[in-house]
């Protein structure tokens, strides 16, 4: 019903409209309507607009390998994976950003409306610029029930509901009824009104004067669940109750009565009046189809519209490096200069935004504010800074909303960047799952053109929560994404400023991936000069010659991935080379974590011969890793030298403490790494008993010192790389 | 200020009150106040209520190994880990369920209020019974700013804000000001009013007549951020702006001016009037301390109040099993009978609730409705079923709210059960992290008494999403929890009905764990008789003799964990024993996944000798696993026979399809497992080339059959265990 009514207003107003379906099992609505309008057959010619095609359409529904009952990538016109609930409205808002002519009609189920992500995404209207962005028309569908329960918003009365929606900043129009003809009339009238309201708001905003935020119109549609379906089945009411959920007639295969009821139900729509003898929709129906069909709106297949970013040359932002460890920079701050100019270059095309839960400045990307503001369409005080109604940095303290906006923005053909505290990106674990599934499915759908990758910058990471402590320490998002299909996942751990820049450049050029970059925001040593960094990132993994003295045949390999593990590894190497100068050490740094996997498991996987050339087949490997250590085992268990691999990483030991104490608590510190080397290289523990004891003593000294001074040992704080 | 005002009303009304602090960096408020009232020193005598103790209190704050700036388990009176935002209100509601005399004052930050979980948790009032539950007093603190941005709710004007909160079902009282004396007066007056309102609502509800839901009072407190702190620093305003966030004076160590400002600021509170010469609070302050101190409220240390559940004997619910695979049951349905009687036995104590996002009936636990209803305090229609204002099944379509309620309920000393679709439990990944961290920290705090475990039943799992399809398929929650500290995590995969019952019984008796149980709801074969199931679950892992013919020296070990993998393994064994009767097969079933880890890694870890006795040190092991296969490698990579371990599991290949097609798509099917055996047992592929080809042909037949018929091969659908 909604699709048909929207078609009417599209025709009448020549609207550029998309449709987002939030309610669970909402797939049939868009499958059927895009078939009726012809969009479906355009993309899937075998599902033709005739009896044979109709049979295929029906049969593939919920059939093995067919299409699911939820909105999904296979469906024309959809940018929304509808299986998990809660994201329809943030997807819709993401789609209209920078699309001033687009209107997204977004149906929200009253079940979905109970989810947290949906409940806060109503506030997206405070981040929308009516002049430069399009409009979202929320249609809250109160059919009253979820799977087995009434829905909260359907049972709080019209007064409370109206207050709630007005409080969210909307003007709700109620369309309520159980008698189809009445509802049709009321809905048509209401749609005209809300579209007039939208036009009025946009016209006012686009007249060139600053105007205060207006309430946006929305529709509350209250109709029975299972409306026009069977009223009663087996003596209990079905229409208008939760029993209409999903399968109102469960016994059609075995019960002649159910089969008859199904037939009566379907015949009640008078198909003989709707289709001709060949199963084609009759002319009267086809005349309702607008030229601008929602199932063929190019925004819903965003890759069609995607325009590559014009990226500035990384070299211009790279920091000069006189030698390893001789200078320090804050990697994310330097990245901020680069992102600022990405933003500047994208300004004419308005196709790049940066998203974050109130952390863009905390994550030191604030150079962005030289060229744009933070989107804000609510009250502004004189002391505020960097707020702008058309700002292109999107900050709301809701990771869910940031993620939903960004997904909607990417799926409609634009580019984005999401920076987030590492521990709290887990808040969107489940949303990431759905986006990864979307990307996986679209790889088998040639008509879905590639969209820009979803780029995460995880900073304020596990090792530097000096004052926030244990609650802010969790590096497990990497583990989470690595479970997704290998072809859509990339994970990068740039160890310094120049490698972060090279990684960012690479990610912003890529499509159809989920890129996870973990990088620090605190001042830290520069290891690689710009051209070295570019080469290292292109390889993704490599020997660091400046730190190695193995001459091709190491006694031990020291692997490292992540900024803090790299620092501790180099400090351990420095200690070892000072105290045990004849020990032959090779340092291997990993930027692209997927290089560790076999080539059979991941497109970036290193061939076994290359892996063995780096890590040997028989020497001990001490690997210092940013996250949970077992991930490294998981990635490498098929490698020849796996039995000699010894991994240190975060083992969930944390508290409010200094940077070095954190690594000590997790046995990732330089002294412990050096001890690991001494204990793993055959015979060394005997030969180097004095060095071993000194390292043990250093750890004990650290414990005493920190308790007394509340800061790390001076030799740790002031440490600088020396290859002895 | 709030703590002091609450103390006043506690004294005046003899309230049983707890305090939940939502805002970030809210730890100092409760640390300081519980020290002032004496609760802190009671638990930490070294932090005495005098100069020395005060110095310790100050020094440990944000000091290495000290206490974080967020509310945390170390803090007396807290049930709330405050580092991640969004859960204060659902924790508060969970705490007052079944505590009719308890009032929880819950401060909500205006930053936190933007999160999705918080935005929907306002609706918790529709699930509260004013007669049998206590009251939550939400105090929305609008200080106007987050880290670097204004807060949405502080910038929508009082009209919209009032509408929003009234729409949520509250009566907001605004206390607004920047002049302390005025705010003190207004707050005192308002607190008296809201507590009168609460009393009125409770009195009416407890008079014995059904009354409609009333709006609950709440406070909106609008005061400047950084109030009474430095007005300006370095020429820019700080008080009343985001710059007051966390550290308003950053330069006290290096800038004499900042140090002077800090001193002026602290002296402005006239400490000389508040403390005596020994640093003790003066009598005037101590007289304000109520007898019922919030920092010593026993509900905030729920283990003190926890009463063991009176569990019915599992044997009474166990299904009779004549022999392996001869009968079928729906495991979760039978579990429902058991949970019904757990609920019944707990009725006098009101200390058990079942939580779920609208899925309790879908997950077939609906026997519960024989003894209780679903909590519902909103409009009721005649067609509704099982709704009750004092119902003990809590269903809202928000995994976040279910989790938050349950955490609050457990932390205040009660018991619970959370059933959830497996894929969507990822929605609470981040909340689980925080609860696991809480449990880990409390193990080092002897004064925190053990609380009931957090029990998850994950059902509607990855292998049986026949119609929901790919979006509903994700077994990765196990991977997520296994990253947490080993001593707080337990994972169980009962393969049939009787093992599920034994597992549930075990989990409901345990404390301080997070128990994850994965079990199916679809009809499936019974393998073990009740006493066998009890023994198998007690061991957690074991040889299934009925399926094994190895006589102590197997040619191959077939491991399995999970209901569907167990079925496919047994079907593979059946095929192999029929076609290759001389092949010696041992079947090892795993219920307790943590048994696979070395004893050094997990308290449940099997000693190496026992592991080797089960899995041998040199025979091929074909392991069929419920989830992502690499987890099994991660758990076993240190075992002697790991190089011979070959794992099949979910590798992210899914769609809308039949149960058997799902396992085929992921190479977990009986034919593939049998092929794996043939290919891994030395020489067998040559000897059994014909069997091998037949298995390959069977898989091809499946593909053809399913495309034609839309259902699985008859020999798969009708398969029954036969040991040939």
Asked whether the beta carbons of residue B381 and residue A85 sit closer than 8 angstroms, the reply is no
Measured over the CA atoms of residue A219, residue A224, residue A225 and residue A229, the dihedral's sign is negative
**Whether the Cβ atoms of residue B698 and residue B671 lie closer than 8 Å to each other:** yes
Q: How far apart are CA B721 and CA B724, in angstroms?
A: 9
| Phi, psi (rounded to 5 degrees) for A222 | -110, 100
Sequence-separated (6 or more) residues with CB below 8 Å from residue A68 = A27, A62, A83, B467, B468, B469, B470, B471, B655, B656
Q: Name the average pLDDT for chain B.
A: 96
What's the first-to-final CA gap in chain A, in angstroms?
77
pLDDT of residue B717: 94
Q: How far apart are CA B425 and CA B418, in angstroms?
A: 10
Asked whether the beta carbons of residue A655 and residue B374 sit closer than 8 angstroms, the reply is no
pLDDT of residue B208: 86
- C-beta contacts of A1-5 below 8 A and 24+ residues apart: A1/A183, A1/A184, A1/A187, A2/A29, A2/A105, A2/A107, A2/A139, A2/A187, A2/A221, A3/A29, A3/A30, A3/A33, A3/A294, A4/A33, A4/A288, A5/A184, A5/A187, A5/A188, A5/A191
pLDDT of residue B317: 98
Helix (H, G, I), strand (E, B) or coil at B325: coil
Q: Is the per-residue pLDDT at A607 higher than 70?
A: yes
Q: Is the per-residue pLDDT at B724 higher than 70?
A: no
Q: How far apart are CA B10 and CA B15, in angstroms?
A: 5
Determine which of A31, A55, A68 to mutate to test the interface with B (most B C-beta atoms within 10 Å).
Answer: A68
Closest CA to B698 of B685, B708, B712, B709: B712
Q: Note whether A582 contacts B: Cβ–Cβ < 8 A.
A: no
Q: Is the per-residue pLDDT at A391 higher than 90?
A: yes
Asked whether the beta carbons of residue B471 and residue A434 sit closer than 8 angstroms, the reply is yes
The shortest CB-CB distance from A169 to any of B156, B166, B484 is to B156
Q: How many CB pairs under 8 A join A and B?
A: 348
B-chain residue closest to A74, CA distance: B655
Least confident of A373-387, B245-259, B529-543: B245-259
Inter-CA distances, B373 with A132, B356, B360, B389, B392, Å = 50, 13, 11, 8, 6
**Whether the Cβ atoms of residue B612 and residue B669 lie closer than 8 Å to each other:** no
Closest CA to B377 of A156, A93, A116: A156
pLDDT confidence band for B244 (50 / 70 / 90)? confident
Determine which of A430, A439, A643 to mutate to test the interface with B (most B C-beta atoms within 10 Å).
Answer: A430
CA distance A596 to chain B (A): 14
Residues of A in contact with B633 (CB under 8 A): 633-634, 637
**Whether the Cβ atoms of residue A392 and residue A354 lie closer than 8 Å to each other:** yes
Tokens representing B205 are 């509800």
Q: Note whether A400 contacts B: Cβ–Cβ < 8 A.
A: yes
pLDDT confidence band for A75 (50 / 70 / 90)? very high
**Whether the Cβ atoms of residue A76 and residue A39 lie closer than 8 Å to each other:** yes
Q: How far apart are CA B161 and CA B176, in angstroms?
A: 14
Mean pLDDT of B510-533: 96
Tokens representing A130 are 């009516």
CA distance A530 to chain B (A): 32
Q: Is the per-residue pLDDT at B623 higher than 80?
A: yes
Supply the DSSP string of B143-185, one letter for each residue.
-SB-SSSB-GGGGSHHHHHHHHHHHTTEEEEEEE-SSHHHHHH
Determine which of B90, B383, B665 to mutate to test the interface with A (most A C-beta atoms within 10 Å).
Answer: B383
List, as ranges, residues 204-223 from B with C-beta within 8 Å of A.
none
Asked whether the beta carbons of residue A633 and residue B628 sit closer than 8 angstroms, the reply is no
Q: Name the average pLDDT for chain A.
A: 96
Q: How far apart are CA B546 and CA B233, in angstroms?
A: 78
B-chain residue closest to A659, CA distance: B64
Sequence-separated (6 or more) residues with CB below 8 Å from residue B513 = B439, B453, B454, B488, B489, B490, B507
Asked whether the beta carbons of residue B656 and residue A115 sit closer than 8 angstroms, the reply is no
Least confident of A466-480, B43-57, B183-197: A466-480
Q: Is the per-residue pLDDT at B43 higher than 70?
A: yes
pLDDT of residue A508: 98
Q: Note whether B655 contacts A: Cβ–Cβ < 8 A.
A: yes
Helix (H, G, I), strand (E, B) or coil at B39: helix
Give the gyration radius of chain A's Cα atoms.
Answer: 29
Mean pLDDT of B239-260: 90
Asked whether the beta carbons of residue B64 and residue A655 sit closer than 8 angstroms, the reply is yes
CA distance A314 to chain B (A): 28
Closest CA to A610 of A627, A625, A588, A629: A588
| Phi, psi (rounded to 5 degrees) for A719 | -65, 140
The number of residues in chain B equals 724
pLDDT, tens only, B464-488: 988 888 999 999 999 999 999 889 9
**Whether the Cβ atoms of residue B462 and residue B627 lie closer than 8 Å to each other:** yes
Sequence-separated (6 or more) residues with CB below 8 Å from residue A489 = A436, A481, A482, A513, A514, A516, A594, A602
pLDDT of residue B468: 87
pLDDT, tens only, A165-204: 999 999 999 999 999 999 999 999 999 999 999 999 999 9
Asked whether the beta carbons of residue A480 and residue B485 sit closer than 8 angstroms, the reply is no
Asked whether the beta carbons of residue B70 and residue A126 sit closer than 8 angstroms, the reply is no
Sequence-separated (6 or more) residues with CB below 8 Å from residue A230 = A238, A239, A248, A249, A261, A265
The shortest CB-CB distance from A64 to any of B151, B427, B710 is to B710
| Phi, psi (rounded to 5 degrees) for A259 | -60, -40
pLDDT of residue A724: 54
Measured over the CA atoms of residue A696, residue A698, residue A699 and residue A701, the dihedral's sign is positive
pLDDT, tens only, A638-667: 999 999 999 999 999 999 999 999 999 999
Q: Note whether A232 contacts B: Cβ–Cβ < 8 A.
A: no
The shortest CB-CB distance from A655 to any of B65, B376, B634 is to B65
pLDDT of residue A187: 98
Least confident of A237-251, B436-450, B571-585: A237-251
Helix (H, G, I), strand (E, B) or coil at A90: helix
Q: How far apart are CA B612 and CA B607, in angstroms?
A: 9
The number of residues in chain A equals 724
Looking at A268-414, which runs of residues are DSSP E strands? 328-329, 352-356, 374-375, 387-388, 393-395
pTM of the model: 0.97
Tokens representing A216 are 């946006």
Asked whether the beta carbons of residue B62 and residue A656 sit closer than 8 angstroms, the reply is yes
Q: Note whether A467 contacts B: Cβ–Cβ < 8 A.
A: yes
pLDDT of residue A663: 97
pLDDT of residue A603: 92
List, as ranges, residues 234-293 from A with C-beta within 8 Å of B.
237, 240-241, 246
List, as ranges, residues 63-92 from A with C-beta within 8 Å of B.
63-70, 72, 81-86
Mean pLDDT of B189-200: 98
The shortest CB-CB distance from B149 to any of A395, A630, A652 is to A395
B-chain residue closest to A168, CA distance: B164
pLDDT of residue B467: 84
pLDDT of residue A15: 98
CA distance B383 to chain A (A): 7
pLDDT, tens only, B300-359: 999 999 999 999 999 999 999 999 999 999 999 999 999 999 999 999 999 999 999 998
Sequence-separated (6 or more) residues with CB below 8 Å from residue B677 = B556, B558, B572, B576, B583, B585, B620, B622, B684
Mean pLDDT of A562-583: 97
Residue B291, classified by CB atoms within 10 Å of its CB into exposed (0-12), middle (13-18) or buried (19+), is: exposed
Q: How far apart are CA B665 and CA B653, in angstroms?
A: 6
pLDDT of residue B466: 85
pLDDT confidence band for B723 (50 / 70 / 90)? low
pLDDT of residue B245: 84
Measured over the CA atoms of residue B355, residue B361, residue B363 and residue B368, the dihedral's sign is positive
Mean pLDDT of B258-262: 95
């Amino acid at each position: 019903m909604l699709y048909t009514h929207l078609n009417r207003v599209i025709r009448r107003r020549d609207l550029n409209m998309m449709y987002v379906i939030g309610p669970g099992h909402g797939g049939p609505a868009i499958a059927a309507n895009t078939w009726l309008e012809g969009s479906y057959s355009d993309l899937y010619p075998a599902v033709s607009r005739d009896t044979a095609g109709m049979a295929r359409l029906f049969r593939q529904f919920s059939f093995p390998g067919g299409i699911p009952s939820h909105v999904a990538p296979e469906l024309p016109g959809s940018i929304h994976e509808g299986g998990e609930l809660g994201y329809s409205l943030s997807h819709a808002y993401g789609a209209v950003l920078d699309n001033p002519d687009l209107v997204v009609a977004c149906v929200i189920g009253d079940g979905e409306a109970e989810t947290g992500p949906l409940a806060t995404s109503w506030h997206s209207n405070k981040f929308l610029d009516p002049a430069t962005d399009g409009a979202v028309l929320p249609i809250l569908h109160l059919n009253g029930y979820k799977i087995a329960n009434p829905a909260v918003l359907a049972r709080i009365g019209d007064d409370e509901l109206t207050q709630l929606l007005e409080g969210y900043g909307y003007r709700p129009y109620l369309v309520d009824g159980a008698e189809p003809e009445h509802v049709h009339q009321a809905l048509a009238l209401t749609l005209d009104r809300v579209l007039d309201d939208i036009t009025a708001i946009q016209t006012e905003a686009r007249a060139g004067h600053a105007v205060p935020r207006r309430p946006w119109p929305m529709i509350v549609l209250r109709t029975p669940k299972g409306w026009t379906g069977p009223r009663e089945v087996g003596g209990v009411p079905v229409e208008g109750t939760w029993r209409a959920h999903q399968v109102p007639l469960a016994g059609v295969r075995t019960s002649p009565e159910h089969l008859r009821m199904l037939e009566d139900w379907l015949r009640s729509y008078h198909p003989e009046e709707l289709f001709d003898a060949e199963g084609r929709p009759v002319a009267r129906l086809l005349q309702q189809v607008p030229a601008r069909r929602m199932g063929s709106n190019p925004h819903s297949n965003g890759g069609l519209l995607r325009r590559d970013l014009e990226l500035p040359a990384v070299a211009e932002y790279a920091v000069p490096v006189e030698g390893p460890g001789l200078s320090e920079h804050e990697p994310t701050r330097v990245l901020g200069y680069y992102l600022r100019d990405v933003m500047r270059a994208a300004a004419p095309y308005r196709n790049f935004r940066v998203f974050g839960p109130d952390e863009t400045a905390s994550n030191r990307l604030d150079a962005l504010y030289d060229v744009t503001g933070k989107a804000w369409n609510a009250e502004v005080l004189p002391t505020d800074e960097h707020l702008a109604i058309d700002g292109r940095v999107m900050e709301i303290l809701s990771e869910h909303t940031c993620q939903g906006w960004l997904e909607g923005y990417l799926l409609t053909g634009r580019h984005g960047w999401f920076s987030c505290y590492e521990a709290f990106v887990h808040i969107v674990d489940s949303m990431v799952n759905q986006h990864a599934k979307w990307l996986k499915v679209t790889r088998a759908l040639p008509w879905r053109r590639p969209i820009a990758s979803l780029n995460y910058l995880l900073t304020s990471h596990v090792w530097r929560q000096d004052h926030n402590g244990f609650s802010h320490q969790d590096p497990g998002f990497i583990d989470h994404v690595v479970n997704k299909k290998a072809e859509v996942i990339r994970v990068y751990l740039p160890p310094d400023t120049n490698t972060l820049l090279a990684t960012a450049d690479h990610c912003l050029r890529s499509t159809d991936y989920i890129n996870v970059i973990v990088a620090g925001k605190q001042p830290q040593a520069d290891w690689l000069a710009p051209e070295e960094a570019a080469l290292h990132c292109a390889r993704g993994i490599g020997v660091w010659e400046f730190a190695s003295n193995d001459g091709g045949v190491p006694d031990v390999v020291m692997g490292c991935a992540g900024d803090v593990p790299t620092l501790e590894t180099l400090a351990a190497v420095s200690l070892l080379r000072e105290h045990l100068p004849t020990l032959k050490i090779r340092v291997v740094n990993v930027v692209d974590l997927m290089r560790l996997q076999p080539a059979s498991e991941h497109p970036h996987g290193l061939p076994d011969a290359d892996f063995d050339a780096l890590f040997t087949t028989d020497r001990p490997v001490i690997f210092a890793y940013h996250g949970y250590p077992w991930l490294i085992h998981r990635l490498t268990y098929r490698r020849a030298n796996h039995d000699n691999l010894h991994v240190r990483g975060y083992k969930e030991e944390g508290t409010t403490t200094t940077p070095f104490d954190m690594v000590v608590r997790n046995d990732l510190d330089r002294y412990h790494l050096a001890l690991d080397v001494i204990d793993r290289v055959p015979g060394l523990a005997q030969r180097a008993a004095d060095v071993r004891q000194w390292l043990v003593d250093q750890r004990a000294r650290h414990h005493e010192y920190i308790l007394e001074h509340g800061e790390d040992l001076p030799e740790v704080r002031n440490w600088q790389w020396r290859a002895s």
